[in-house]
Structure 1
Amino acid sequence: MMRRTVTLRKSLHALIAAPLLMAAWPAAHAEEAPFISVVTGLAPDDLLNVRAKPSAIGKTEARLAAGASVRNLGCNYIDGHPWCKVESDNPKATGWAPARYLVPLNPATVPDEAADVPAVGTDAGATPDAPPPDLTARLGSASQPASPETAPKSAAEIAMQDAYGLALAANGSLQIPCARYVGQPMASCAASVTHKGTDKADVTVTWPDGGSRVISFDAGLPASSDAGSDFRFTREGKLNLIRIGVSERFEIADTVVLGD
């Protein structure tokens, strides 16, 4: 008789506990796994800046090496450029990084907390829904701003447009995007071109803080420089993205070297 009582009690306890366990199981598994992206596409010895705001002049919160994993909270187009909000554990940081250096991209968007971030070089007092002026307008060219695009441009198209516009701006003097130091945002450098035939040329770039760099083109492509450092380049459409050594960066459009 005692054995039956114990068995009955155990059975009752099991029947009561089973629904509770089944109800708790979905809640324990309701939280989705975070979306993980990997840092990629960096030049050798380069680091990815994670910034407090989705802007090239935003404060740097952390710098990540190629291959680092981050939690990708979503990606937004800010002033025509795709940025993703990320969280890093090593080092511990939360901020924004350019989407082109993250794989895969989170298809979700971040709430409009970044909508009020002014675009680089634009007036912070402009209305948020006003289209950003083109690069030549920001540099003081007399030409009228381009009409707003109806669809977002690719990163290559944006880079090409900015590099070409910068080259033709500043009262007709030749300017190209450049950066001299590690982590420095792209600035504007005066440049001159010496043609050596139909497809050869030397582009002399003058740094704003003094000194210069000569980049030689052969068959219309970057070939070498007067620096003893490693020379390499990639192409995005008709734009040459040139790296010299660890830190020097240049963006030179084909039209600068070959003409229209």
Structure 2
Amino acid sequence: MRRTNTPGTMLVALAAALLLATALPARAEDPSTTIVSIVTGLAPDDLLNIRVTASATGRVQGRLPGGASVKNFGCNEVNGNPWCKVEEVDNPQVKGWAPARYLTPGNPATVDDMPTEDPSPAAGTTDAPAAPAPPPDLTARFGEVDQGAPKSAAAIGRTAMEDAYGLAFAASENPSTGEIPGETATVARLEPPQAPDDAGTGIPCARYVGQPMTLCKARIEHKGADKADVTVTWPDGGTRLISFYGGLPAGSDSPDEFRFTREGSLNMIRVGVSERFEITDQLALGN
């Protein structure tokens, strides 16, 4: 039997197609919503960090210079700051998240599959944590206690006196040699050495023009609720002192120009034309 398409049938099919298109939102990585953006707005000789997650503290997947072209799949707002999911045009392996303010033009599309934490497992965390040691069995030392019949006040007092006498007798003996101790000597109490605040902490840093960010050791000395000195040690020798005052980077021990920008709780600091540092509020101030 031959099927005849009437105008009514065609209208019903068209309406169903329109409803289906409305009910299924376009994915951010659909070619119809993907655009090409250019990396702009960086400081001279600086690089844009492409991070695994949309966070200023996310793991860096790669770094791109100003003028690089990226596929922009869409942007989401995270803690009041817009982040875009991007992929380098010339190297698809460099794929992740970057602040929207460094991408021109922006993409009004949003991204659905947005990771909330770094998917890569941290080193040494594949095994389940060891269970805490069980508390010592006090019944083996003091004997079973009948929970149904609580001790009287007199019994509790006798037990306490017996324990006190036992401790005093044990302290009067010398269990090691049995010899009578000689003249009492005053011995100074040695306290364990106090480690400096955040000793051995690493921060991202770069010392020379065009040098990618590497890891520098940092020592933090807190001087109040919102004051701290951060001493950064360069891998090739030498240090740089960065001071925080009022909860913000305030200066360094270098005569060169000191400036910084903030991205959330991350302080991106530049000294002179080449030195760069990334220090979080948590590291510097313990906030």
Instruction: Give the structure-2-normalised TM-score.
Output: 0.43
Instruction: Flag the structure with larger Rg.
Output: 2
Higher share of residues assigned helix: 1
Instruction: Give the structure-1-normalised TM-score.
Output: 0.46
